[in-house]
Structure 1
Amino acid sequence: MNITHDFFPGAIGQIIQLHGTHYAKNWGFTSYFEAKVAQQIAGFAHGKQETDLALIAQDDQGVAASLVLDLHDPESGPRGAHLRWFICADRCRGTGMGRKLMAQAVAHAETHTNGKMWLRTFAGLEPALHLYRSFGFVLQAEKEGDVWGTVVKEQEYHRAGDI
């Protein structure tokens, strides 16, 4: 499996599709969620800066995993780098690919934000939450909401850095 450090032609669409199909199948999310991912990732890609990081794992079937570290999200403030669009296709779950991408993202954050990172997710994604916690992320806020078009228990995790 090849890991690139930026988007390549077709990658954005495949990342959107991974999110749309995975969260529809496993969580009942609708096309509202897929459209939101499309809008946000397109905006990020259009304004991506040199210190931002896009990790894309690709195999012979296309994009197998993605992780974006947005160092310039105006919403971040003192929380540091915003971890976004982290997903592994079913075919690479349990292979260590997610851990490999996360390790690269944390190393990047250590260099650029003293390791400070944050992310939004929701309760119930146990393998992902386990991975986040293993890299020092701690739950900071939790509330029911429908920011993704479906009511879930939204969570925000922070990584303090220098741990």
Structure 2
Amino acid sequence: MNSWSSEEIHALYPAQSLGVLSSADKDGRVNANSRAVGSAFRTLVKEGADPDAPATLHSAREIAGPPAKSTFSYPDFGYVVQWVSEVGSAATLDGLLRHADVFLSPTWERGGLFYPRYDEPENAAGNWTRMDSYTGNAATGYARLNVADGQRKMWEAPWKKEKHL
């Protein structure tokens, strides 16, 4: 979407990220929250809750209840980290990648970094822990390499064949 409707996508980002992303510590780590927590958080804020208050996130987690275990692991973290790498701030992206490195078991094998599959959605403190193969093998690496508006830049100014000769 950022490739052909960039202004709209950037304008929507603050509202869409509300409740999906939460500051997790003073070191800048950013946690991704489940869809249910994000939805409950946005409802609470719409009703007047402070979006920056830890109590709002706590209430949203209580409303959402325990995360559902699924036989199919949706690549939510992967979608979020790629989206943030494209239209979010560098600080938010760094915070998500810091979260990945702390909670998602980064593993080096044959010179490559990946995050192994893990089916538990979150730990007892509410930190995202679920890892699927798409997120662990591609999406997080993509987010590390992408530049802000990278997809838009490739769409608007693709490299010509002559540039590679």
| Superposed pair shares fold, TM > 0.5 | no
- What TM-score results when the alignment is normalised by the length of structure 1? 0.29
Where is the helix percentage greater, Structure 1 or Structure 2?
A: 2
- What TM-score results when the alignment is normalised by the length of structure 2? 0.29
Where is the strand percentage greater, Structure 1 or Structure 2?
A: 1
Higher RCO (Cα < 8 Å, 6 or more apart): 2
Rg larger in structure? 2
